[in-house]
């Protein structure tokens, strides 16, 4: 019976990915149906499915809060105004605009979760592209590449990086010394490829900037108060968990959303019903469903069964193991969102190390606070790089990709799986190669 449920869980997951890749079904509908199949075939109960969603409540709450925060201030026209100013600063040149997106996104994603950054910045992209006369989809895709890559600059820049870093008890400073340069290489790789990937936009120039529309800001007083709310939200994103009474980013986002709704309602710039109606509910449902699908693989032992396979293939060869793990996790992360992937892979990797005798069984304790032997740490570093950079490969590879796709759809353009693949595969391949070279040179030579 256990074998049968594992086949159902794995088959359902593969089927969902195939439906998404071939675009026969909208990606939210495909994952939602897949999650329900697991429940109706009794692979898991509805209560268990909700339990798997609950494990990722922080991610969902964070996304919901930021979505409300961004949507609540749309009536002020702040995004249209800022988009025009950015085009003017770029002097109407597509090259400057692309470099500007890289320059703005990189430092923010080093300290804020990348999907959150995409939620905050992506609404600027469609009006910018419209004024420059180019398609906004490639600009959103570039922002996603940079957001995912620069998440490797610090241990808190990407949820997947933080999960692995927390598992091996690496400090913020230790991460900067050992691993940040690999993140910088990932960003530089995208920067070097940008003129070739986005050739048409790179060479685009506006001859007469005076013809640009000049949108005016509405409700300036409301916007000023909203700016204070957003500034406080960003501040507590950074320092909230270091306070004597820690405040999680999800809690901060929800409080910011509540204040934004209160401000919009009291000032009558919009109604609460309108704001909530316009949220990207399909993205939220997608994430809830994918957590259930990954939960099915975990519950039925599909993921844990791979630890024995790792032990057989890799033995105690840490160098070979690190390289293979980087590419394996990278390729897997291109079709499995990296947050649930690393949640499942961390205990798998620990079990592998115990199986081959490189560490003691005490590391399997979720509350283990000791240090791993230095010689096995490159395996975890490789998993960090693979999980984060592999997310650039396909539309479903990272949470920021899905967020960008949702924002694009809200603005009337759908990012197809094939179109993202056209840009994503070259970037992912080059980044995984450069990351593998960095791991080898930095930790083994």
Report the alpha-carbon distance of residue 100 to residue 431 in Å, rounded: 21
Cα atoms found within 13 Å of the Cα of residue 79, Cβ hemisphere only: 19
Highest mean pLDDT among 1-10, 224-233, 322-331, 424-433: 424-433
Interval 377-395: pLDDT, tens: 999 999 999 999 999 999 9
Read off the pLDDT of residues 217-257 as tens digits, 9 standing for 90 and up. 888 898 899 889 988 988 887 788 778 888 887 888 899 99
Is a pLDDT exceeding 90 seen at residue 26? no
CA 67: distance to chain centroid? 15
Q: What is the pLDDT of residue 310?
A: 66
Question: Which pTM was predicted?
Answer: 0.81
Q: Which residues contact 45 (CB under 8 A, 6 or more apart)?
A: 39
Residue 72 · residue 229 · CB < 8 Å: no
357 vs 315, more confident: 357
Q: Give residue limits of the domains in the chain.
A: 59-157+182-277
* SS3 labels along 36-89: HHHHHCCCCCHHHHHHHHHHCHHHHHHHHHHHHHHHHCHHHCHHHHHHHHHHHH
């Amino acid at each position: 019976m256990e074998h049968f449920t594992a086949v159902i869980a794995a088959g359902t997951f593969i089927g969902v990915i195939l439906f998404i890749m071939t675009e026969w079904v909208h990606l939210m509908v495909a994952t939602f149906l897949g999650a329900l199949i697991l429940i109706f075939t009794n692979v898991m109960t509805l209560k268990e499915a909700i339990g798997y969603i609950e494990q990722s409540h922080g991610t969902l709450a964070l996304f919901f809060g930021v979505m409300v925060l961004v949507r609540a201030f749309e009536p002020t026209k702040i995004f249209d105004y800022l988009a025009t100013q950015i085009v003017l600063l770029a002097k109407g040149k597509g090259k400057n605009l692309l470099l500007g997106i890289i320059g703005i996104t990189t430092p923010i994603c080093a300290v804020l979760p990348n999907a959150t950054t995409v939620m905050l910045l992506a609404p600027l992209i469609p009006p910018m592209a419209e004024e420059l006369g180019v398609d906004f989809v490639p600009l959103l895709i570039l922002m996603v590449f940079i957001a995912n890559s620069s998440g490797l600059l610090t241990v808190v820049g990407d949820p997947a990086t933080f999960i692995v870093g927390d598992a091996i008890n690496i400090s913020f400073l230790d991460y900067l010394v050992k691993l940040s340069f690999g993140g910088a290489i990932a960003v530089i790789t995208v920067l070097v490829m940008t003129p070739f990937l986005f050739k048409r936009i790179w060479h685009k120039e506006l001859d007469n900037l005076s013809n640009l529309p000049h949108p005016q800001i509405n409700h300036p007083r409301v916007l000023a108060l909203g700016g204070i709310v957003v500034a406080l939200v960003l501040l507590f994103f950074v320092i909230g968990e270091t306070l004597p009474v820690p405040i999680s980013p999800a809690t901060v986002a929800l409080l910011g959303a509540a204040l934004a709704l209160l401000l919009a309602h009291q000032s009558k710039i919009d109604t609460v019903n309108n704001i909530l109606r316009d949220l990207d509910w399909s993205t939220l449902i997608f994430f809830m469903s994918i957590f259930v699908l990954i939960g099915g693989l975990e519950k039925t032992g599909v993921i844990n069964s791979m630890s024995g396979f790792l032990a057989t293939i890799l033995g105690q060869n840490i160098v070979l193991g690190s390289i293979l793990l980087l590419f394996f996790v990278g390729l897997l992360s291109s079709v499995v969102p990296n947050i649930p992937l690393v949640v499942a892979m961390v205990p798998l990797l620990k079990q592998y190390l115990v199986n081959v005798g490189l560490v003691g069984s005490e590391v399997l304790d979720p509350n283990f606070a000791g240090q791993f032997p230095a010689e096995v740490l490159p395996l975890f570093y490789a998993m960090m790089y693979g999980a984060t950079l592999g997310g650039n490969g396909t539309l479903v590879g990272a949470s920021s990709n899905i967020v960008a796709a949702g924002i694009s759809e809200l603005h009337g353009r759908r990012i197809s799986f094939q179109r993202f693949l056209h840009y994503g595969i070259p970037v992912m391949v080059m980044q995984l190669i450069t990351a593998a070279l960095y791991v080898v040179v930095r930790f083994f030579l």
